[in-house]
Amino acid sequence: MREEKGITVTDLAEKAGVSPGLISQIEQDQTIPSLDTLENIARALGSSICYFLLEQENVTDLISSMSPDLIELLSDPRVQAVLRAVRDFTQGELRFVLNQIHFFKRYRDLL
């Protein structure tokens, strides 16, 4: 994708906030970037992180199956922050947090 867009390794590294060496290592399958790094690279390329995580045909199918409202919701930085915060939670931990959110929504007028 970087080459298709005519972006140099150095330019991409600068935009993504990483070293050019890391970009080269990723492109040559010498290292696997963290999700945060991958997200920064995707943003620098004007793409979704899904482009890197799914086979391209699956990305196209996935995005085309999403409603515009869902795409807009997932693009919201606040939603992305919440998803990043809970991405390593167990099912029980996530259920606990969701219960806390429901409780807060029900009684937030009392605060």
Tens digit of each residue's pLDDT (9 = 90 or more) over 11-66? 999 999 999 999 999 989 898 888 889 889 988 998 877 777 666 566 567 667 77
Structure tokens at 43: 């943003």
Q: What is the pLDDT of residue 18?
A: 95
**Comparing C-alpha atoms, which of 93, 92, 103, 50 is closest to residue 74?**
50
pLDDT confidence tier of residue 99, bands split at 50, 70 and 90: very high
Determine the pLDDT at residue 72: 82
For range 67-78, the mean pLDDT: 82
DSSP 53: H
pTM strictly above 0.75: no
Q: What is the DSSP string of 88-108?
A: T--HHHHHHHHHHHHHHHHHG
